[in-house]
């Protein structure tokens, strides 16, 4: 990946992370980058959102290293 494309990708991820924080999703940068990559591969965003919601319901709260945090 050329430097300009890498910078654009970082900037885009930062923007998405900022929006995620405003919406209080509890998703970290790593999780967001995976979800974005899956969308770019053609997976349905609504289906991914349903999977994230289901995973949150099924997994009990864990340590501070939790990838998908449940919003307050």
Distance separating alpha carbons of residues 72 and 68, to the nearest angstrom: 13
Pick the closest to residue 12 from 46, 49, 37 (CA basis). Answer: 37
Q: Which residue has the higher pLDDT, 2 or 61?
A: 2
Identify whether 68 is part of a domain. no
Structural domain boundaries enclosing 8: 3-58
Write the pLDDT tens digit of every residue in 5-53. 999 999 999 999 999 999 999 999 999 999 999 999 999 999 999 999 9
Compute and round to an integer the Cα radius of gyration of the chain: 13
Q: How far is CA 10 from the centre of its chain?
A: 14
Identify whether 70 is part of a domain. no
Identify whether 35 is part of a domain. yes
Identify whether 63 is part of a domain. no
Identify whether 65 is part of a domain. no
Identify whether 54 is part of a domain. yes
Domain count, the chain: 1
């Amino acid at each position: 990946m050329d430097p300009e494309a890498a910078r654009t990708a970082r900037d885009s991820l930062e923007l998405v992370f900022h929006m995620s924080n405003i919406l209080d999703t509890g998703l970290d940068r790593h999780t967001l980058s995976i979800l974005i990559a899956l969308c770019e591969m053609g997976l349905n965003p609504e289906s991914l959102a349903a999977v994230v919601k289901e995973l949150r319901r099924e997994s009990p709260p864990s340590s501070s290293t939790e990838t998908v945090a449940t919003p307050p």
